[in-house]
A and B are shown apart, each in its own frame.
Chain A
Amino acid sequence: DAMVIQNPRYQVTQFGKPVTLSCSQTLNHNVMYWYQQKSSQAPKLLFHYYDKDFNNEADTPDNFQSRRPNTSFCFLDIRSPGLGDAAMYLCATSREWASEGYTFGSGTRLTVV
């Protein structure tokens, strides 16, 4: 089945130690998104890629970076995780920007110790 896959499902990292989260898609969608979701809150968009074009949200901290080496893969890099960065990180895709059909991955739960 076409889908969005996130690895790992659970990630524990040390305070200040760089960590990378992975997302892959088999939908061949143009747009890939990274959302941060804290407990019982709505997902908050960090940034998105339209093809190779990177678009950062204005309030996304510099600590968060992203890479999209090809259509299928997108990575979220957290350079120096703080305790406040512990959250669920969701990857999503859509065929086009502002397209109705978003498909979300199952998320990566990040714990910072």
Chain B
Amino acid sequence: TQLLEQSPQFLSIQEGENLTVYCNSSSVFSSLQWYRQEPGEGPVLLVTVVTGGEVKKLKRLTFQFGDARKDSSLHITAAQPGDTGLYLCAVLGGKLIFGQGTTLQVKP
């Protein structure tokens, strides 16, 4: 059983569309992180959310931590081909534990 369930697993959209990726769990976390991994590279930390209900924005990316600190979402506005990659949510449960990831492909 996965501690973090991400959905969808795969997403293929056209440039300019909006999308939302979800990260869900039945456990409560003190913080949650989102990483982006481009093909052939290591994951790069995008954001850490720590407060229930917190919303953080990074240009066209909006991250939200659920009120109960069990889930999180990543919304991308007007997706661009450069957004293509694997999006991973992760929590520190002693070690860094990742969700299964969402593979996003943005077509020009």
Contact = CB atoms under 8 A, between A and B. Distances in A.
Given A40-B103, A42-B88, A109-B40, A102 B98 contact: no
Interface of A is mostly: loop
A8 interface: no
A105 interface: yes
Nearest to B10: A40
A40 B4 CA distance: 16
Max chain B CB contacts within 10 Å: which of A40, A42, A99, A107? A42
A18 interface: no
A48 B95 CA distance: 9
B42 A40 contact: no
A102 B92 CA distance: 10
Contacts of A49: none
Interface string A68-103: 000000000000000000000010100001111110
A43 B43 CA distance: 9
B31 interface: yes
Contact of B96 (A6, A40, A45, A109): A45
Interface in A33-75: 33, 40-43, 45, 48
B33 to A, nearest CB: 7
Contacts of A6: 42
Given A9-B40, A48-B95, A102-B96, 19 more contacts: A40-B103, A41-B100, A41-B101, A42-B98, A42-B100, A43-B98, A90-B42, A97-B94, A98-B95, A99-B92, A100-B31, A100-B92, A101-B45, A104-B42, A105-B42, A106-B40, A106-B41, A107-B42, A109-B40
Query: Would you list the 6 A-B pairs with minimal beta carbon distance, nearest first?
Result: A104-B42, A42-B98, A107-B42, A104-B43, A42-B101, A106-B42
7 contacts: A40-B101, A42-B88, A90-B42, A98-B95, A100-B31, A104-B42, A106-B42
